[in-house]
Amino acid sequence: MAITITKSGPYFTSGAISFSAMRNTFRLNNPTGTISASELLRNTDVTNTDPILPDATENSDVATSTNWKTSQIRDSIKFYNVTQPSGDTNINLDIDGLAWNSNLNKNIVKKMNIQGTCGSNTTGTAAALMDDTAHNLTIDVSGDIFGCGALAVTDDNNPDGLDGGDALDVITSGNNVKVNVQSTARIYAGGGGGEHGTEGATGQSGTCFNYIFGTVASGCGFCGDCSNLGAGYENYGGCANAGGCNCGGWWFWSGCASTQLTTAECRKQDPQTVAGGTGGAGGDGGRGRGYNYQSGSLAGSSGSSGGAFQGCGGFVGTITSGGQGETGETGGTGGEWGENGANTADTGNGGTAGKAIDRSTNVSVGGIINSNTIKGTY
């Protein structure tokens, strides 16, 4: 079914028009006694919440002050109703864009009946919205109005959870605008998204080493002492036979008493700290509940495993091995209908839920209000 328009009227389309009939038709709050012609002038006062003969496009022939005639009453109306019927679904229902016949900003008493489902797939636009001047308008909700839930945040550089969308926006400068909540209504704001999980910590550092080399002169009969270069030096070569020394002869013997040794080759370890394995990426935040995501898990995704220590490649050796990076944090849980997304240890926050009803201060909300009919602020 489509959006339907119903009117109380048109009245007196033909035949005689009596004052008693006009009284019974238009003065509903007191349908007894006599009614005067002055009471049947078209009332254009937008602050009047119950005009006897209201200002409406259909009533434009009725005089407002003088020259009133009964014939002007033909085809006049008392009320104007627009209905979204049960079983219908509308995405981003634009209430003021419906067929009001230019009556929204007039004082005729009007009603918008939402009996089906209104939804939104974008958090920036409410499931049903009204943003034009209106007077004497009641938005009567017995069906469902579901805001859009936040999508998952996937960028660790911008870890804030995304915000959920509004269910119903009523922004108007008009007079006597109401939202009436029936017991079967479900006006639910979209949930905020969970914050992105933080990156896992880097693993414990390792220590690798290269050598620092040096030499110490040897002598006749002795190898150079590497400790002369400082603590930690060790001999790893040199001190080979370079020939005799203390050579000479007397009596019956001649020759060399000692051996000249080559330079002592020395080295010591030069430790270098090497970072441990990189931390794993944090998980995406969970989605928020909404028209676009009415069932399914709201949990954030798990973080990635940390990287392994890359070893001491490029170095001579290893003193201590480094550790593996820690697993990234699981993303925050998304919000249920009308609830904020959860925070994590990252630098941002969970996303804010949309509003069940975002309204101007002059718009009132009444009816059956409980945790079943409204989820979210209003």
By CB atoms closer than 10 A (0-12, 13-18, 19+), residue 160 is buried
Cα 69 to Cα 29, 38, 53: the distances in Å are 23, 11, 14
**Predicted local confidence at residue 244, as pLDDT:** 87
Cα 133 to Cα 96, 107, 191: the distances in Å are 9, 11, 29
CA-based R_g, the chain, Å: 44
d(CA 349, CA 226): 61
d(CA 198, CA 187): 34
- 19: phi then psi, degrees, rounded to nearest 5: -65, -35
CA 210 to chain centre: 51
CA 50 to chain centre: 43
Cα 288 to Cα 72, 147, 333: the distances in Å are 56, 10, 8
User: Which tokens sit at 39?
Assistant: 């009471």
Residue pair 120/293 in contact by the 8 Å Cβ criterion: no
d(CA 142, CA 119): 14
Half-sphere exposure of 121 (CA within 13 A, CB side): 3
Q: Per-residue pLDDT for the chain (378 aa), expressed as one digit of tens each? A: 699 999 999 999 999 999 999 999 999 988 899 999 999 999 999 999 999 999 999 999 999 998 999 999 999 999 999 999 999 999 999 999 999 999 999 999 999 999 999 999 999 999 999 999 999 999 999 999 999 999 999 988 999 999 999 999 999 999 999 999 999 999 999 999 999 999 999 999 999 999 999 999 999 999 999 999 999 999 999 999 988 898 875 545 567 889 999 999 999 999 999 999 999 999 999 999 999 999 999 999 999 999 999 999 999 999 999 999 999 999 999 999 999 999 999 999 999 999 999 999 999 999 999 999 999 999
pTM of the entire predicted model: 0.85
User: Which tokens sit at 183?
Assistant: 């017991």
**How many residues are there in the chain?**
378
| Greatest pairwise CA separation for the chain in angstroms | 169
Residue showing tokens 């005729």: 108
Residue 361 burial (CB count, 10 A): 5
Residue pair 185/369 in contact by the 8 Å Cβ criterion: no
Residue showing tokens 């790893």: 236
User: Which tokens sit at 20?
Assistant: 């008693």
DSSP calls for 162-176: PPPPPSEEE----SS
Amino acid code (one letter) for 304: S
Cα 4 to Cα 83, 114, 120, 121, 200: the distances in Å are 5, 11, 21, 24, 57
**Terminal-residue alpha carbon distance, the chain:** 30
d(CA 378, CA 368): 13
CA 20 to chain centre: 60
Cα 313 to Cα 271, 326, 365: the distances in Å are 14, 22, 70
Bridge partner list, 149: none
Torsion sign, CA atoms 95, 146, 356, 81: positive
Plot region of 270 (φ>0 → left; ψ -120 to 50 → alpha; else → beta): beta
